[in-house]
C-alpha cells in the first residue's frame, strides 16, 4: 500500500478557516453546495378529514381558515370535501397547522 505524501498549503488552510469564520458570523449564507443541511422529508398527504380537524382545532370557519392559509375559500372547502388535494407548500402549511395550530394565529 502506497502512502501518499500530504502537502500542506497554508493559503488553502487559511481560506478554509476564514470560510468557517464567515459562516459562523453570518457573513456567508448557507447553501446546499457549501453546507450539508438535514432537510425534512416532504409533507405527507392529508385526508379531507384531517384538514377539517386542523380547522376545527382552531375553532374557525372555512373562510377564516382559508385566509389564515392565504388560499381562496373555495380551495379550502374543496380540500375538506375531497374534490381537490393540497400539494407542495400548502401541504407543509397544513402540516404546521395540524401540529401547531397556534402558529397560524400568531402569523
pLDDT of res. 34: 64
What proportion of the chain, given as a percentage, has pLDDT over 70?
92
- pLDDT value of residue 18: 85
pLDDT digit string, tens, across residues 40-53 = 899 999 999 999 99
More confident residue, 59 or 12: 59
Across all residues in the chain, what is the average pLDDT?
87
Q: What are 79-94's pLDDT values in tens digits?
A: 999 999 999 999 999 9
Q: Residues, the chain, total?
A: 107
CB atoms within 10 A of CB 53: 13
Q: What's the pTM value of the predicted model, to 2 decimals?
A: 0.65
Query: CB of 105 within 8 A of CB of 97?
Result: no
pLDDT of residue 28: 77
For residues 9, 10, 16, 20, the Cα torsion angle rounded to the nearest 10 degrees is 160
What are the extents of the domains in the chain?
9-36, 48-106
CATH of domain 48-106: 1.10.260.40
Amino acid at each position: 500500500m502506497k502512502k501518499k505524501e500530504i502537502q500542506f498549503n497554508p493559503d488553502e488552510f487559511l481560506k478554509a478557516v476564514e470560510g468557517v469564520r464567515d459562516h459562523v458570523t453570518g457573513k456567508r449564507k448557507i447553501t446546499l453546495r457549501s453546507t450539508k443541511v438535514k432537510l425534512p422529508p416532504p409533507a405527507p398527504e392529508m385526508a379531507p378529514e384531517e384538514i377539517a380537524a386542523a380547522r376545527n382545532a382552531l375553532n374557525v370557519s372555512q373562510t377564516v381558515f382559508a385566509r389564515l392559509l392565504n388560499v381562496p375559500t373555495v380551495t379550502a372547502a374543496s380540500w375538506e370535501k375531497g374534490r381537490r388535494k393540497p400539494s407542495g407548500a400548502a401541504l407543509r402549511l397544513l402540516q404546521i397547522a395540524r401540529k401547531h395550530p397556534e402558529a397560524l394565529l400568531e402569523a
